[in-house]
């Protein structure tokens, strides 16, 4: 998938997720976003892959709204998705987080 398409999918996904509209996100879209973020294709998103996936402007805005630094926000957001706290995010963990939001 091209970088532009990846950013569009991630932006839509993040916007719906952050606005609590997770019922509108099909599992297939979440799995596609996970696949795009999993740049080494090992089935997991590690923290380094996660850091490369988001829009810098959106991250700064979200961090500010939550009273966090960007670094604090990124770590919090990653840990929120990492359901079993093993340092990796599976597609199912991403789906679970989306459905819980």
In this prediction, residue 53 carries a pLDDT of 81
60 band by pLDDT with thresholds 50, 70 and 90: confident
How far is 2 from 80, CA to CA, in rounded Å?
27
pLDDT tens for each residue of 71-100:
999 999 899 999 999 999 999 998 888 777
The answer to whether 22 and 101 have CB atoms below 8 angstroms apart is yes
pLDDT tens for each residue of 8-56:
666 666 665 555 555 567 888 888 889 988 999 999 999 999 988 876 7
- Does the reported pTM lie above 0.85? no
Domains and CATH numbers, the chain: 3-100 (1.10.238.10)
């Amino acid at each position: 998938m091209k970088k532009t398409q990846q950013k569009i999918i991630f932006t839509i996904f993040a916007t719906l997720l952050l606005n609590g509209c997770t019922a509108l996100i099909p599992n297939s879209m979440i799995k596609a976003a996970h696949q795009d973020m999993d740049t080494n294709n090992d089935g997991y998103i590690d923290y380094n892959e996660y850091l490369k996936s988001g829009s810098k402007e959106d991250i700064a805005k979200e961090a500010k709204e939550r009273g966090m630094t960007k670094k604090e926000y990124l770590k919090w957001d990653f840990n929120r998705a990492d359901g079993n706290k093993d340092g990796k995010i599976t597609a199912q963990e991403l789906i679970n987080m989306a459905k819980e939001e």
